[in-house]
Amino acid sequence: MSQKGKKFLEVKSQVEPGKRYALQEAIDLSIATARAKFDETIDIAVRLGVNPAHADQMVRGSVVLPHGLGKTVRILVFAKGEKEKEALDAGADHVGADELVEKIKGGWLEFDKVVATPDMMGSVGKIGKILGPRGLMPNPKVGTVTFDVATAVAELKAGKVEFRVEKAGIVHTPVGKVSFGAEKIKDNIIALLEMIMKLKPASSKGVYMRSLAISTTMGPGVKVDPVDIRSALA
């Protein structure tokens, strides 16, 4: 067995099988089991009582995390004229129009988020097959198709995360870095969960937030007690 395998089993042994921890305990345990030499990302997985196959049960949105994500985000903005200057002034890393479309067609992908003004979506649509599978396609539902490009860029730089329920009914998203500490991670998680609750589809019946787990990049998953989550959000 590799040394990496031994380390994983060692930290995994600290997590009691089948136990659902209180949110604070789960966060503390996830941070304690982070053993990598780099600053690991903390991720959250939320299983929802929805069927994404039905359009009226699709849960998709975005939220600006109070403490951001702890990483630099490279933002590309498709805009023209005054909006181009507005995006640059707001801190966008790349701004342009059809010339960027052609550059991306050629294989260039040195950016993490994409914003577009509504009048540019016709051109952006030409590279939808490139951006879409990578989760980069601008979408008005998460605020990345807008004429208010300054706000969109500022929010993304500040740590705005987009999320979308997967086919299995699970939302996966990062919520910060181990170096943030438990308090900031908890603030970010609460902000995310509050937004997910606000987006509960009217057609969703029964228990909406069914289960939740927290994990670090190289660490084991730590299950969280849904009852404790509901108390934290009350």
Distance CA 93, CA 75 (A): 5
Q: For the ranges 32-36, 117-121, 199-203, which has the lowest average pLDDT?
A: 32-36
Domain count across the chain: 2
> Do residues 52 and 60 make contact, with C-beta atoms less than 8 angstroms apart?
no
Structural domain span for residue 170 = 17-69+160-233
Tens of pLDDT, residue by residue over 101-145, are 999 999 999 999 999 999 999 999 999 999 999 989 999 988 999
Q: Reply yes or no on whether the pLDDT at 181 is more than 50.
A: yes
User: Both 35 and 79 in a single domain?
Assistant: no
Q: Output the domain CATH number for residue 130.
A: 3.40.50.790
172 within some domain: yes
7 within some domain: no
Total residue count of the chain as it appears in this document: 234
Distance CA 53, CA 27 (A): 32
> Do residues 58 and 121 make contact, with C-beta atoms less than 8 angstroms apart?
no
User: Both 170 and 213 in a single domain?
Assistant: yes
Q: What DSSP line would sit under 48-98, residue for residue?
A: ES--TTSGGG--EEEEE-TT--SS---EEEE--HHHHHHHHHHT-SEEESH
Residue 184: closest CA among 83, 86, 66, 30: 66
Q: Are strands 60-64 and 160-164 parallel, antiparallel or unpaired?
A: antiparallel
User: Both 95 and 115 in a single domain?
Assistant: yes
56 within some domain: yes
* pTM given for the model: 0.80
